[in-house]
Chains A and B, each alone.
Chain A
Amino acid sequence: MDTYALLWAATMNAGTVLALASLGLLINEKAGVVNLGAEGMMLCAAIAGFATVVHTGSDTLGFLAGMGAGALMAAVFGVLVIWLSTNQYATGLALSLFGSGFSAFVGVNYVQAKLPERMHFDIPVLGDMPVLGVALFRHHPLVYGAIALMLGLMYFLYRTRAGLVLRSVGESPESAHALGYPVRRIRLWAVIAGGALCGLSGAYISIVYTPLWVEGMIAGKGWIALALTTFATWRPARVLLGAYLFGGVTMLQFHLQTTGVDIPTQFLSMLPYVATIVVLALISRNPKWLRVNMPASIGKPFVPN
């Protein structure tokens, strides 16, 4: 029983990584912008956060540094894509390629670096419960933060005026523009918000999840987060659910490796990637199912005349 509790705890932890990034990407995709630079932003945020914690000893500053790095890179991407109408796919790819090179370059001296003693979190009383305590109440605050973010985003997108404006910018930028909303500025802020959350996720990986810095350590999590918005058909609750599901796949792989199942480790390591491909194919098979919630102007530039 305790093994399963630990496995569930690890799943939530791994899912949080994906959820933070994917909920961020959901914001800019709802505004009509696809940012393929997630992987690059997360890598740069991971090293920014890690280096900050190494030098200052403060996790909070580390998270802020990661968010800042992600937001800054997203802002560059946003200006190119929104004001200069560059191709969103190509520009996002450029961001990913640059990010993987730049993070490796800056991080070269941090590969052996160690973080100060990691804190353990434990909610009083609840954390002492048998089984459930380990499974649910001894997590890093950001694990609950991701859940709160999902709830907040649901409220924001579907219950507030600002959320309605954001969605209208993604559905029909022409109408939003005609109504007098600054479409491009709204899109830029959505992109920056997405970048900041990808950055938070990247910093969470290097500060809490792993916690260390290695070149290329995001290992495709940015891309899986991108796929998650599609899996979830752009609904925040489904994003979180999907993130936990994929967190579970990742943890299942580690679990099987440690229990010594007779499958080569490389095939187990493939699991999250293969699962992404399979789920993507299954979900995309029904275009109607996707189109209901897909922002109509996604990927298309908007130039007011």
Chain B
Amino acid sequence: MLRLEPRAQTSALWRYASPLLALALTVALGVLLFVALGKDPVRGLQVFFWEPIKNAYAWSELIVKGTPLLLIALGLAVCFRSNVWNIGAEGQFVMGAIFAAGVALTADANTSSWFWLCILLAGVVGGMVWAGIAALLRDRFNANEILVSLMLVYVAVMVLNYLVYGPWKDPLGYNFPQTKTFEAVTQIPKLMQGLRVNVGVFMALAGVAGLWVFLFRTHAGFAQQVGGLAPDAARYAGFSSRKALWLAFLVSGGAAGLAGALEVAGPLRQLTPFVPAGYGFAAIIVAFVGRLNPVGMVFSALLMSMFYIGGELAQSRLGLPRSLTGVFQGLLLFNLLACDTLMNYRLRWMRAERTN
């Protein structure tokens, strides 16, 4: 029978092979699912893996969805590497969007064309404030950050709903729960006419470079991670776990808030109840599949963006529910966690003998 045998050392090969194997397993399960639903599996794969990259427009859409995913995942990587479990990025994203919209709504025709920088800054602050609550309650009250950050997602969504159904509702909006469309001057600069992709992608890529330098080339980045790997060693070395906690939450909250601001002032142009699109949760998967490595997360963000677009296309082209995206995202994370076992264990055929 098959047995797991511990490896003496973590396998470097499987560190990189495991996400690929997990993806292959997810695709295989996807094919089975398509067959079971009586859909052409080749068409299904096409919709998920070819349509999102077939031309410039498709790439632009891929990047539009990939940018917030990558930004949020970069922040979460700092958290997860320092053993801080912020799973409320969705709420920080929403709060960033709310703060950004609050600033964007004050713009009029005479506003400076650099105003979008203020909007993004407001988004960062919004995300930090929301993450800061979880950090504060953890720090001062020892409250579990998983539960607090998650509960704050629901609260943020309620605040959003209050604003768009109440004080911020567009009086000329036919009673739809939405704010008025922001002034043209607040638009985040686009990279090309006719495509939705904007300068946010450069911020995400700058974030990748910045995070790489921080994690692997600075003392502060090292201190930040030791607490996650070996809390006792960190304490002995005098690295403050409180500092690591606050830094992790503020960085990830700020990144998620920036993503929210980019989203609302970029493609959306107004606040609606549909701002929370699940990016904050999908980014958790992006972070893990990208091995919490800044460069790896670029690829996993694009992959997760493909899942989003594929899900939308599966709805319009194949008549499948859009929630297929969530199914595949969840499966991918499951498969990854299972495949990661191969990093520390090897599979061995052994003669069946009862131990234990």
Q: A-side interface residues toward B, CB under 8 Å?
A: 36, 40, 76, 80, 83-87, 89-91, 93-95, 97-102, 104-105, 108, 182, 215, 219-220, 223-224, 226-227, 230, 264, 266-267, 269-270, 273-274, 276-277, 280-282, 284-285, 287, 304
Give, as a whole number of angstroms, the nearest-CB distance from A195 to chain B.
Answer: 15
Once A98-B333, A281-B137, A284-B142 are accepted as A-B contacts, the answer to whether A226 and B147 lie under 8 Å apart by CB is yes
Jot down 19 A-B pairs with beta carbons below 8 A, ordered by A: A80-B337, A86-B340, A91-B334, A94-B285, A94-B330, A104-B323, A182-B356, A220-B154, A223-B147, A230-B147, A267-B158, A273-B154, A273-B155, A277-B147, A280-B148, A281-B137, A284-B142, A285-B141, A304-B356
B interface residue numbers (CB < 8 A to A)? 4, 85, 87, 137, 141-144, 146-148, 150-152, 154-155, 158-159, 161-162, 165-166, 281, 284-285, 288, 321, 323-331, 333-334, 337-338, 340-341, 344-345, 356
Q: Which residues of A contact B166 (CB under 8 A)?
A: 264, 266
Tell me, in angstroms, the Cα distance from A17 to B199 when the chains sit together. Answer: 47
Q: Are A267 and B162 in touch, CB under 8 angstroms?
A: yes
Supplied contacts A84-B341, A101-B325, 4 more A-B pairs, CB within 8 Å: A94-B333, A104-B321, A224-B151, A264-B165
Q: Which residues of B contact A108 (CB under 8 A)?
A: 321, 323
Report if A284-B141 is in contact (Cβ < 8 Å); known contacts: A93-B284, A102-B326: yes
B159 touches A101 (CB 8 A): no
A264 engages B162 (CB within 8 Å): yes
The smallest beta-carbon distance between A112 and chain B, in angstroms, is: 14
Cα of A269 to Cα of B151 in the assembled complex, Å = 12
**Chain B contacts of A230 at CB under 8 A?**
144, 147
Among residues of A, the one whose C-beta sits closest to the C-beta of B142 is A284
List, in ascending order, chain B residues with CB within 8 A of A276's CB.
Answer: 147, 151
Decide if A270 touches B158 in the complex (CB within 8 Å).
yes
User: Are A266's CB and B144's CB within 8 A?
Assistant: no
Chain B neighbourhood of A281, CB < 8 A:
137, 141, 143, 148
* Closest chain B CB from A250 CB (angstroms): 13
A284 to B143, CA, bound (A): 5
Contact in complex: A280, B147 (CB < 8 Å):
yes
Interface centre among B151, B285, B331 (most CB of A within 10 A): B151
Residue of B141, B165, B285 with highest tally of chain A CB at under 10 A:
B141
Which residues of A lie under 8 Å from residue B147 when comparing CB positions?
223, 226-227, 230, 276-277, 280
The 6 A-B residue pairs whose C-beta atoms are closest, nearest first, are A101-B326, A98-B330, A104-B323, A266-B162, A281-B141, A94-B333
Interchain CA distance A280-B337 in the complex, whole Å = 29
Complex interface: chain B residues within 8 A of A104 (CB): 321, 323, 326
Chain B residues closer than 8 Å to A90, beta-carbon distance? 288, 333, 337
Nearest chain A residue, comparing its CB with the CB of B165 = A266
A84 and B338: CB pair below 8 A? yes
